[in-house]
Amino acid sequence: MEAGAGIGLYPLHRCKTIYLVRHAQGIHNVDGDKNYKAYMSQDYFDAELTQLGWQQVDNLRKHVRSSGLHKKIELVISSPLMRTMQTAVGVFGGDGYTDMSDVLPLMVANAGNSNRAAISSSNCPPIITEESCREHLGVHPCDQRRSISDYQFLFPAVDFSLAKSDEDKLWKADVRETIEELAARGKKFLNWLWTRKEKEIAIVTHSGFLFHTLNALQSECHPDVKKEICSHFANCELRSMVIVDRSMLGSDKSVTDYPGKIPKGIDLPSDAVVENDNNIKGE
């Protein structure tokens, strides 16, 4: 039998469903796909989405609604960069925002040169940011973020409270994070998810983060499943996956399991009765 072949069981309350999304096309992707050195350009600092990228957002948004995912997702976690937050609010946010609303918008009009109307925070899951699901850190200006205070003006209803500093202290101009460091950060991020109460979570992040994190976790999978999990994500691609708590990191009790024996009574299993009967006949 091939490695990872066969079926397995795991308690439902020790599982979470995650919806992994790579951001839509950013301005850095256009030239970067032709020439990798373009990612070094300061012109692409904290790259925003292209107009094609926004079309990709619109199409994924339609899919999320037609498939019913928008009713299942309890939380959206976004990398705190312009392109990921634009994708997150565009796909999972509410409908059009009006100044008469009593709630803050997820995104103000034309944020990041989007040429888009403001997006409402009503009738949608909360959106938070988390640094540990950022793209490969260092050297590439497109992967450097702005200050949190700048983002708070552009994305008023997004929760930035997990940020440890206003300025970007993780990105270094002359030091590129190693693949091993990135994969370790990805594992740490997934472990952190077990501190969250939510069971169905969308994560909007980046190609490099997804590729190296998932490749570090696929060792026990069937070869065909490895290909399904670990191939590079297209812009604005969504994949649904289940993660399991094998290390007992989570402490949540099942809300669907039922202990039985209420009221209490004799419940000797039938196979035990047969075994006891056979023992008597053998005497």
User: Residues of 200-220 as b/e, b for ≥16 C-beta within 10 angstroms?
Assistant: bbbbbbbbbbbbbbbbbbbee
Q: For residue 243, what are the β-bridge partners?
A: 16
Rounded CA-CA distance 111/116 in Å is: 8
Residue of 72, 83, 76, 100 whose CA lies nearest to 24? 83
> Of the listed 23, 136, 206, 212, which one is catalytic?
23
Residue 135 is a catalytic residue: yes
Question: Angle between the 51-66 and 82-92 helix axes, to the nearest 10 degrees?
Answer: 40
Respond yes or no: is residue 23 known to be catalytic.
yes
Contact predicate 235/22, CB 8 Å = yes
The CA-atom distances, in angstroms, between 274 and each of 16, 135, 267, 279, 280 are 40, 61, 14, 9, 10
As a whole number of angstroms, the distance between CA 101 and CA 88 comes to 21
Q: Point out the catalytic residue in the list 48, 135, 177, 212.
A: 135
Catalytic residues: 23, 135
